[in-house]
Chains A and B, each alone.
Chain A
Amino acid sequence: MTAKAAVDSLDFLCVGLNHETSPLEIRDALVMNDSEVARAIRELRSRAGAEEALILSTCNRTEVYARGASVTDLPLFVNDLLREIKGMDLGARGHRLYAYREPDSVRHLFRVASGLESQVLGEPQIAGQVKDAIGLAARSGGSGPVTERLLDAALRCAKRARTETGIGRGPVSSVYAGVSLATKVLGHLGDKRVLLVGSGEMAGLAMCHFMDSGALQFTVAARNPVRAKELGERAGARVVTLEALPVVLPGADIVICATRAPGYVLLEPAVRAAMKIRRNRPLLLLDLAVPRDVDPAAARLPNVFLHDLDALAAIVAQSLEQRRAEIPKVESIVEEEVSRFMRWHRSLELKPTVTAFRSQFERIAREELERHRGRFRPEDQPALEALAHGIVQKLLHRPTTRLNRSGEDGGTGLRRIDAVRELFDIEGEGEADEDRNPR
């Protein structure tokens, strides 16, 4: 396929599966590492004839984006490719891949980058994963002018979605809701002391979230000394036994309880005694355990804030509801960016570019002649016009020839057209490059 044909139609397809179309076992089996992605891109280039290709493979989606593929049935090719690389035959399992052609494929990528297609609506990591995917495509020889431009546009779209709407606002997990509550009660967490009661998965997750939010001082109190030590090492935490809880409690500002104990681990008298020692400084108790670890009577003490999983779930539900309300705003940003991208792509058509390029030089020559007309005799005017025209023709001969060959030079040709449009400020249908590189 020539670049001339490519610019007439973007020929950009997206084929894949995600958490809405496939169960976890299939998604898990299809997650590709970097070398598998590189191999898939090479196969797409060599066997499917794709001029550009990129693969987005995360735990929630595996998607193949390809431009200018010459195979007639790209979904079938991708199906075969996945079988070869990952040993998973989707066809045999009766599983179909979704496929989009532009502008839907472009729209889908922008929706993915903005978090609209994420399992947790508006989650921010996906934009970074899109960026990594294009970086990997570049290293594997899959990127080109269109995918590079797509990355710019997708990341700009994601950035706009996050800054202009509330799609990423508010906590969407119980543990993160706990962090946000801690920040609401105590302010900055940098100088706050966190006491983790328990050493299981939930306690580890809580430690990670609190570390990410700036907390530096941790103490782990747990029954299992080995696991407690392992957990403590992650944050350089002090490790104590559960029996030492009354001793370490007064020094903590945030207590996260996540044990599997059948009864209360923290009783009201212990909290009362701790509050006396800490001179009533606020104490946040996050009870992430089921059954609960903290005696509910502790919530009645002044300056003690006790919140269990139900309370945190209420915060999460509220955040998700707010995020859902922002979907129309994000969709309108996506549509704007899709239109902008498609305008840019149409501007790469060869013939209008050459015409605009030549007429710009000829216009400049005419304007200069007009400006200096008074300085020459009328009988010299035809000679001057011929001279100016001759200079323009000579100057433009080589660039025009090279430009006309762009149609046969694939991605290099597209880059050349794009460069000429940018260098000589040739605008097409309102195309503006003011924010070309949001990266």
Chain B
Amino acid sequence: MRFLIPLLTTLLPVLYALSVAAYARTYVREGSAGDRLGPICLRAAVLVHLIYLSARGVLEGHLPLASVYDFLSATGFSMAVVYLYVESREGIRTTGIFVLPLIFLIQIVSSAYGTGAPADPVPLRPVWFELHTLTAVLGYSAFAVSAIYGILFLLLYRDIKANRFSHFFRRMPPLEALAQMNVRAAGGGLALLTLAIVLGVGWIKRSGTGSLTDPKIWLTLAVWCIFAFSLLAYHRLGWRGPRAIYMSLVGFTTLLLSRVAVDLFFHSFHSFR
């Protein structure tokens, strides 16, 4: 099985690149919303990615999340899964071109710089921990997809308000659908992040490893609060349109900055080095 890893590591960016090209074609060609090539390429990429991650998991005996490049690959995979879920739920394929290039970039960085396996053997990790990392990665991916839909919403909102009826206007789904996709992805992300926090805290309590005063935990809680408030404002306070979207983008920006800050400036027990 080991021979598969370098092969799949090379194959993955190729498949994501094909998906990007297919979704670009769907976006560019008027009336090609029903084009099936993009979803077929992306499903193939996701399947190969799953095989790659599973093979790594079997070989290493734990989830392949030992380095920042592993984390990137897993994030790309889960973003693709979240995107496919949103696409099949909403039946909209013209937004793929705005999500997939990011996944492609993430994967190409992971494939180019990752070793494909950790340098040092990692001790056996409990299921709690594995679930904690899995839910955290899925949650971050959902927030990323939510942010992309948020940005698309703002661009379309601006165009409609200014009576600019460009190709972008024609190819985008309804404004309300973009808002819904933003809110749903953020809601899913918040649920997964909540689970990740609970599992992480539980793991710290049980194993005695790490500390609840870790900066990453506090920054993650800050992100959780921002997203929770953003969703509460949307559902209860009547925050609609740009205001609600800006709030969720603040949450995602905080998330990104906090990850960079933790890895660069703080000593954290679970930062990637």
A residues within 8 Å of B by Cβ? Answer: 166, 169-170, 181, 183-187, 279-282, 299, 302-303, 305, 307, 310-311, 314-315, 318, 322
Contacts and interface: CB of A to CB of B under 8 A. Distances in A.
12 contacts: A184-B160, A184-B175, A185-B174, A186-B174, A187-B176, A187-B177, A280-B239, A280-B240, A281-B240, A299-B161, A303-B240, A305-B160
Nearest to A182: B174
Given A314-B165, A318-B165, A184 B238 contact: no
Interface string B157-200: 00011010100011011111100000000000000000000000
Contact of A279 (B161, B175, B238): B238
A299 B163 CA distance: 11
- Closest A-B pairs by Cβ, 3 of them: A279-B238, A187-B174, A280-B240
A299 B161 CA distance: 7
A299 B158 CA distance: 12
B30 interface: yes
Given A169-B31, A318-B165, A322-B30, A302 B174 contact: no
Nearest to A276: B238
B41 to A, nearest CB: 23
Contact of A302 (B169, B175, B242): B242
Given A279-B238, A280-B240, A185 B176 contact: yes
B205 interface: no
B240 A183 contact: no
Q: Which of B169, B175, B239, B242 has the most CB of A within 10 A?
A: B175
Count class of interface residues, chain B: 20 to 34
Given A169-B31, A280-B240, A302-B241, A314 B169 contact: no
A286 to B, nearest CB: 12
Contacts of A181: 160
A299 to B, nearest CB: 7
B270 interface: no
Contacts of A184: 160, 169, 172, 174-175
A181 B177 CA distance: 14
A419 B180 CA distance: 57
A305 B165 contact: no
Contact of A282 (B170, B240, B243): B240
B30 A302 contact: no
A166 B30 contact: yes
Contact of B241 (A186, A187, A282, A307): A282
B220 to A, nearest CB: 30
Nearest to A188: B174
Nearest to B177: A187
A253 to B, nearest CB: 10
Contacts of B243: 280, 302
Contacts of A183: 174
B174 A279 contact: no
Given A166-B30, A184-B169, A282 B176 contact: yes
A170 B30 CA distance: 10
B160 A280 contact: no
A314 B240 CA distance: 28
Contacts of B177: 187
Interface string B215-254: 0000000000000000000000011111100000000000
B18 to A, nearest CB: 25
A322 B170 CA distance: 12
Given A169-B30, A185-B160, A303 B241 contact: yes
B31 A166 contact: yes
A186 B161 contact: no
A314 to B, nearest CB: 6
Nearest to A278: B238
Contacts of A170: 170
A302 B243 CA distance: 9
A187 B30 CA distance: 19
A305 B162 CA distance: 9
Nearest to B90: A187
Contacts of B239: 280
Given A185-B176, A187-B177, A305-B161, 10 more contacts: A185-B175, A186-B174, A187-B173, A187-B176, A280-B240, A282-B240, A302-B242, A302-B243, A305-B160, A307-B163
Nearest to B236: A279
A310 B31 CA distance: 25
